[in-house]
């Protein structure tokens, strides 16, 4: 019988429980340029798709830290999150770090 160091770890560190992917959405909402990073549907799509693709995850956590910006880009990101949550039957947990005016939430 092989000895496993894993059993010496506290239960919360063993990795036996569910893992919830976290997507960080930060920066001004709008189209990015080489000199101004921005948060848009184009920049958020990849991380969102990856987080919702995890079949074992019961939920996806989204951390927002944005001063706001384009209402159009905000709505596109919001719509995609709702669409992915419905398609994958996942709960969405949203957390605000420092700032999240109405356009960012």
Return the domain boundaries, the chain.
Answer: 19-104
Domain 19-104 sits in CATH 3.90.226.10: yes
Cα–Cα distances in angstroms (integers) from residue 53 to residues 6, 22, 63, 87, in the given order: 27, 12, 18, 10
Quick check: 50 and 24 in contact, CB under 8 A?
no
Q: What string of pLDDT tens digits covers the 105 residues of the chain?
A: 566 677 777 776 776 778 899 999 998 998 777 777 789 999 999 999 999 999 999 999 999 999 888 899 999 999 999 999 999 999 999 999 988 777 555
Task: Give residues with Cβ within 8 angstroms of 23, minimum separation 6.
Answer: 44, 47, 48, 51, 60, 61, 62, 63
Beta bridge partners of 65: 26
């Amino acid at each position: 019988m092989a000895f496993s160091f894993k059993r010496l770890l506290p239960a919360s560190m063993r990795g036996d429980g569910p893992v919830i992917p976290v997507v960080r959405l930060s920066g001004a909402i709008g189209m990015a340029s080489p000199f101004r990073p921005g948060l848009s549907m184009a920049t958020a799509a990849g991380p969102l798709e990856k987080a919702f693709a995890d079949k074992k995850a019961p939920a996806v956590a989204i951390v927002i830290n944005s001063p706001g910006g384009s209402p159009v880009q905000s709505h596109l990101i919001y719509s995609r999150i709702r669409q992915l949550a419905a398609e994958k039957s996942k709960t969405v947990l949203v957390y605000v770090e420092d700032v999240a005016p109405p356009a960012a939430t």
